[in-house]
Structure 1
Amino acid sequence: MATQDTQDDPDRTRQLATRAAVAARDGDDTLSPGARLGRYRIEALLGRGGMGEVYRAEQLEPVRRTVALKLLRSRRLNARHLAHFEVERQLLAQMRHPAIAQIYDADTTADGFPFFAMEYIEGSPLTRFCAEHELTLRQRIELLVRVCEGVQHAHQKGVIHRDLKPGNILVDRIDGRALPKIIDFGIATASLADAMDPREVAGTPEYMSPEQAAADQALVDTRSDVYSLGVVLYELLTGRRPGVGGETVTGNAHTLRLPSEQLSTLPPDAAGRIARVQGLSLPHMRRTLRRELDWVVLKAMRHDRADRYDSAAALADDLRRFLDGQPLQAVPARRGYVAGKFVRRHRGALLAASVALAALLGGLGLSLYGLSQARAQRVIAEQRSAELEKVAAFQQSMLQGVDIEAMGVGLADGLRRQVAQARPEDGPKLEAALAHASPPDLAREMIDRHVLTGAQQAIERDFHDEPMLSADLRESVARVRVALGMSDKAAIDFTEVADRREKRLGAADPSTLRARQEQGDALLAADQPEAARRVLEATLAHATALPDADPLRIRLELSRSEAISRLGDRRRALDLQQALHRRSVDARGERDLSSMEVLNRLASTLVDLGEIKAGRAHMERLLPMYKTLLGPEHADTLAATAQLVAMRTQSGDLEQALALQRELVGIQSRRLGREHPLTLMARGYMVNVLANMRGRAEEALSEAKAVVEARGRVLGADNPQTLRAQLSLATLYARLHRYHQTLALEQKVIAARTRVLGPRHPDTVFALVNHAGTLQNDGQHQAALALLQRVQPLAFEVLGEQHRQAQVTLMIRGDAAWDIGDQSAAFASYRELLDIRRRLLGPQHADTVRAAWEFEGILIEAGKRDEALQVSQEYIEPLLRMPPDGLGEAQRNMVSAIHEQRQEDGAVATAASH
């Protein structure tokens, strides 16, 4: 026990007032020096707390030694309690761990008051020791890891401490090393909990878990100690307890001011002093807390004990992972997080890779000479590890954030400038060449060839004798390829990484499984769903050792369901996602990020099936969870907000969609400024919502013009986002039947996209199809057909027949042919469209039935009633006979439209007959 006067300890253990009356003490008399208590002789009073007194005493037999003796006066034990107490004293005595003050003996006084004799510790409370010795952040965490190990040892013996706090964790230097000792397991025993009224709460409120403070001790388990350890960690990091202006508890809800937020509330000089003592600059301290340790504290101190670390060992493991530079279990999986941790972990070895990755930032012409130089300078790099960590993380994020489209624009503009200066007469030839090329694809190819492929070759050359390190480096390159849209090559990279790990570590190793999961996702992004399904199902067969609720297993199963959905079996994908969501919620709770990710994907699948209202209902419930867990301005929250806006729009609830989109625009404007590209993107979608609302056309038009002007000024006239804004404005003009303005803007966009992106780029083809549709709507049927002669084959080749925009060309051609009197061409177009949709979507899909309905209409108008009846019986009538409960949202809308049209046709026929 410590030698300090515990009466000065503001955190001393006390019993909280409860509704039950507390039995009066026999008196406040303390034992005088020289008094005997069994085989112990009292030397001095060390302190007094709510549970009793602590003395320094000398044990007289069978050995002589100094002990700390704690006499508990809060309850006198009766005969039944004494029997339990005898069992517990044996249990406590069995605890043998370097981080636990050894309990030598436990007995009772003649009047039935229990006492404990334990190891006497010459030390200071944990927080005081850290402050007095100015321990660094790493040293503080190392100390807490040892404490967690001691707590875990006690838990394995069936003992819960119930009062973990700095005052009960004493630290002393032994042979120059700081060693912690946990004391005061006196209130941990089941016999004492039984001896007290079950509604009485013993402990220190500031460190007490919610369930322990709730006066029902049946709820207290080992996770209650985990909560207290989280509070201790919080205090070690910030110098304050979370209860000091930090935590609010109301019923079952609470808010916790995280360590990084607590640090920001302090005066700059005080916060800077805390950081300096821990060996960090203030900005570095804030980043360290915000990126990782905030999450550890949050998980340890979750209000719901089911959401905490399930043991002190799990908390210790995450803290060790922090010290070793490993990814933390508490931190949500984010792009670049694992790679960033790997960079920090390998320091000098990864300087070689960081130089290779930095080639892009230094210019595409840089060679990989710096790679070998970096290896030679490894010792220097070790000394500058902090700077290298920042540089490597910056370079990684820069590569992943490259805008390929903008880079292509810059490449084309650079060529124009060079030709204009050197040989102006060759300008037309260059424009002709660019019209048949795709500058973004060229930019992507150059990055891949001169940076990423070069980096891979250097990795294989310089780390061939370190297969696991080279696999990790290659994984980093693969993630950059994913971010830059090179999913097919990324899939090859992830395959190689997974194969190497499987060969070295086994197919069931978590790092192998993670690489396979990323391989599957890359295959999905590369539009290879069947290959993805095979990889993911084979991987799941090796993942049986993972618990059902493990985030990696959930991610694997979710990716598999996405592959199944992409293969066309959306109903089965939905069933899998619903079962996965139930399982995840049962094990992890609905507010767990893994559960939320499943629900997010499930909502999208429902929308894909046409069940928009059901999908929206899930997103309406999910968005508040994102806001609560991650905050209203987190990237995932903003993405969920945009997703819900789209669902509200699709379900026809435009007022609520507009309100939410205005909220999103406000957040982005406040965070980034009103003319930041992301804010302009949000404003552009707000234009789309307004355009669909009755009476809001002028407001939509005004905002659309403002977005086009701002994007042109901020991003440039030929920037892809500027061109998309112009196309949206053109669409708005078309809805207002101002086709001459629509056609002029579309021609401008087509010219720019052809020049910048190339004539075969999907965006260029998309704009050409829109232009053909506008010509048709403007009554220029021959012009529409002439354009379609060139555009329709291109759309099917570039976009694929499954793409809706490619299918739209058949509708435009059919309508234009009908309008000029070419019935056979119109019939041929609609038959082709119907065949494609039946094959790809099924006969009862809403889009298939819509095509059949349109076809039926022109067949009737042409007098081909027998063929119209055949089309109706094959496609339309089966949908009308389906039970309403079995229909998706889009199918229900289709049924309603058909009934309305038939009623209108019937009314017209009746009027004509009279």
Structure 2
Amino acid sequence: MGSHRSDDMCVQGVHVAAYTFAVQLQNNSSTTGISAPRTIIVEDLFLAALDLPAAERAAWLTAHPEASAAERAAAMAMVATFEAGAGRVDAAMGAMRVELSDAMAHGDGSAGRYVLLHRLGSGGFGDVFLGRQEHPVRRLVAVKVLRDALSSPVAHARFRAEQQAVAALDHPGIAAMLETGELPDGRPWFAMPFVAGLPITDFAREHSLGVHSRVRMVTDACDAVEHAHRRGVIHRDLKPANVLVADDAGVVRPRVIDFGVAKLEDAAFMGAGTSTVEGALVGTPEYMSPEQADAAPPDTRSDVFSLGTILYELLADRLPRSTEALRSGGRAGLAAAIRTITPAAPSAFAPATRSIDSDLDAVCMQAIAADASARYQSVGELRADLKRWSDGETPLAVHPSQFGRALRFARRNWRGVAVAALVTVALLGSTAFSVRQANAAEVARADAQRRADQNARVLEYMTGVLAGADPTAQGGREDVSVREQLALAVADLDKGALRDAPGEAAEIRYAIGGAFTGIGRTDDAVLQYRAGMDALEASHTDMPALECKLAIQCSAALAIANRGAEAVVMAQRALAVADRADDAVLRGRSLSTLADAQRVEATDMAAAKRNGEESVQILRSVPGAPPEELASALNNLGVVHFIMGDMDAGIAAAEEAIAINRQLGQEGSYKAMFDLHNISQIERGAGRLDDAERHTREALVLVERFAGMKHPHRASVLASLALIKRSKKEFAEGETYQREAIEILTELDLGNSPDAGVAYLNLASLLRDQDKLPEAVDAGREAVRIVDGVPGQDPWISAAARMSLGRALTASKRYPEAEKPLQEAWVLLEPLGIDPKRRSSGLLALCQLYKAWNAADPVALPAEKLELCRERVRAFEAAHPGSIPANSY
């Protein structure tokens, strides 16, 4: 069955024949010998000729005085090709003009400096027109205009939200924003480069692409969508018609278009939970995730599902779930249909000439899993597995052979094999972990009990071995072979060694996750926590306390990695399990975890505060609630207060947490290190710098005692000490601490981690403070590179990295270069729910750039632009009194 088609922003039929030629002249053999700057002349001739009666075109082109013979010949060849393939050209062009006239009833056929040629289609709230720019360069553009019929305040707000979404994106695989404006009747518009090309499935079919080429196109599309996700933009309507592909001088380039129904993770613009467009279902049913069909607030995994469906269609030449089956039940039955239809692997339908192995099947099927928690949890994860497959490696979606992996390990690390082999043998020999699994009719009770006791000892031993991977339990020694031992244990579990004991397998996954977290491998920890939950769910094992514990720790690991949106989803899962179990303590823990995740996501700080306060209230009031859980909840609530600017409340919560842990005998323990580090950061924000430095140095002593000198926790404490030194204007000493933190992370192979991104952005600020401007710029660029490579990165961190770069460039008087990162920073900061003083820093940095730029070159930066920025600052101050320092702009 063929793909479901849509004309949304996609140039189809006659339109493709005309306008794809116009943009892709360099690839047309008739333009050979014509330089790239002159191809616009050929484009002009071609488009102008189409406006003439067919009988007059050849004579007009032959006599044209401004073009060379080669250019005239190229245009004539294009017209001939166009006419040969489109018998309905004249009628179609006439219809286009009528369509344009109707759509622009209140305008003059132009939007700003762009002449509108005809309507290409519709997307979201707007009509999309092919436009033409004349000055200062001539080119074709796509201009999106709010539809007249939808010109309401709500529609205006949503259209502006789309403008913001597109403006935040800067990626070669996404059509960028060129300009915005308003028509005379007040309707907003924005212009983007015209994307000529075919839907990705059509391109693959017409070019008879092989499997690797098809996978490569999806991988490239994933890269573009991941870029959007890092900037808080979820597409919500990914389908072949919105992934256009062109052959650019032999290079296949997919471009993602139409963010018209994109969801900004920004409640201020979009409204919390918004999932419909003027009452209509958002997205295309054939490519829509079940949660999106339920009208639930979508997250990045909805786009994973859509990309997986596109991949399936490219591999199998059909959709995984047929149009008839999905649409037969109407909107009400759509989600149920998606969940109940279990598609066969794409290899079952692929043509005989298209060889699809089981590894690629596994990747595709994981991407289109109906259960969002079983899917890849980010587009970055899907992209990484596709790249592994392309590189001949085993994707993570596949359960690899443990024997080959263990053999390679033994050859490389013979000293560590003894312990690892014991673990492997114990796991492979375990067939049951409880008396209830023994068949009483066949096995004597004593033998069943003996087996249960033996396996319990194996479990205890396994957990103890895994705990040894945490250097805090080993006097700070981090043995690389132990990390590899963890990998061996994981591979064994993946192979199914404990398939008959899902509860115990989940417990071991929990232990492995804790060990990975202890050595700073949060991504690996997340995978184990999720695998533990999957084991319980797949086997229908009802262990709510364990499931909740896994979800809580998974959310915490995601929060540590600054993957806020994913952390929120996981914390919400923990809360749902706690409520199902009717367990007040679990509910308190889950609410605290949710508050911390929302603090990282930074889009609804009021909700973070509410959940944090409810957590503390529950854990105070429930008889027998562990006091250490209350201390943990107070610590999380203290950080939320800090982010919201309430330093007194933050310090009070942190001090109470310290007092509770002291009563529990935790003073001088590794847990006390976290308490001290936590309160020191709040004290720094409150300006209590001496207290902050004292507590940070106490934390440093403890982390060195328990974790050693080379541990990510030590790097984190050193980074905090560097910030305190900066606040004290002791810049050189701060630089020393910050560089040592970066050195530790690099040695631990964490040089591209979220912590490394933060370390580089802080280093950039310290270097700028000392007028080491070239180094500051380099550090700022490195910060942006790292944070942009982290899936689901905290938008505050992404903005801070851009501010560090923009400020360094401003100080270096490289004003044009500074504008882009500072504009991006403000786009990220504006919708956040954090302390207005922190949020305003992005707008102030942009205003200070314009002030310096205008003073240096009033022509390049007109005073009007500076004044416009100042007006925005004044408006922000009016909305948030006291948020802007006096005389700062």
Q: TM-score, normalised by structure 2?
A: 0.42
Q: TM-score, normalised by structure 1?
A: 0.41
Pair member with larger Rg: 1
- More contact order relative to length (CA 8 Å, sep ≥ 6): 2
